[in-house]
Structure 1
Amino acid sequence: MGKLPCEGCKGLCCGPVPITENELKNIKKRLKSMPTKLRIELKNQQRFVGTCIFYDMQKDRCGIHSARPEICRMFGYYQELVCFRNPVVATKTMKTSTFEKHIGILSIDYMWKDFD
């Protein structure tokens, strides 16, 4: 599998991010285990409108990578979610019947106040 060239994108492809109930629980667990200082730094960053609230602009990567939603794990590797900087790695096709129901969208329905 090829690698995505995410460095330098500053999260422009990261959002809006639909999440499921299980993903919401995993994100909450990840945030609780995060050192307070890192969590506050991540929370207080300025981001582009529509970019995921957990995108770390300073480090130019996902701030909750280990708990990132399935859609983020799939991005770039599926034909329906192609990365314009390296489209050749999008070799898979989605099977939508296997998805859990989304309960909302990060940066729209769920903001930092919902994780405090």
Structure 2
Amino acid sequence: METLPCQGCRGLCCGPVPITQKELKKIQKRMKSMPRKLREELENQPRFPGTCIFYDQRRDQCGIHDDRPEVCRAFGYHKDLVCFRKPELATKESFTLTEKPVGYLSIDFLWKSF
């Protein structure tokens, strides 16, 4: 599968992100195991309004990539989640979450939640 050209977008496609209860617990676990210095560096970065709190502006990538939510994994590959830089990759039908979201990163869940 061809990958998306995420470098250079500065996280503008990343948020607000719906997350499920299972994803929330997974991210909380990730944050507890993240080295304090790395977490503080990520937490204290300025971001565009609405951009996911885990988007790493300095590295121009997701700060929790291996544990990112389902919608982030699907982005760019579904007809209703098109990446403007590679729209031809959006060949799958509309995306539907497998579980109901419990909230949104950057709106309902901020750094204090983790």
TM-score range, shorter chain: over 0.9
Secondary structure of 2:102 counterpart: strand
Distance 1:95 1:61, change over 3 A: closer
Pairwise CA distance, 1:99: 1.8
Pairwise CA distance, 1:95: 5.5
Match of 1:43 in 2: 43
1:112 and 2:92 matched: no
Distance 1:28 1:13, change over 3 A: same
Count of matched residue positions in the alignment of Structure 1 and Structure 2: 114
State the TM-score, normalized to the length of structure 1: 0.94
For structure 1, the residue ranges without an aligned partner over 5 or more in a row are none
Pairwise CA distance, 1:68: 0.4
Match of 2:14 in 1: 14
Secondary structure of 1:72 counterpart: helix
Percent same amino acid at aligned positions? 66
Matches within 5 A, 1:7-86: 7-86=7-86
2:8 partner amino acid: G
CA distance in 2 between counterparts of 1:4 and 1:38 reads: 25
Give the helix-richer structure, 1 or 2: 1
State the TM-score, normalized to the length of structure 2: 0.96
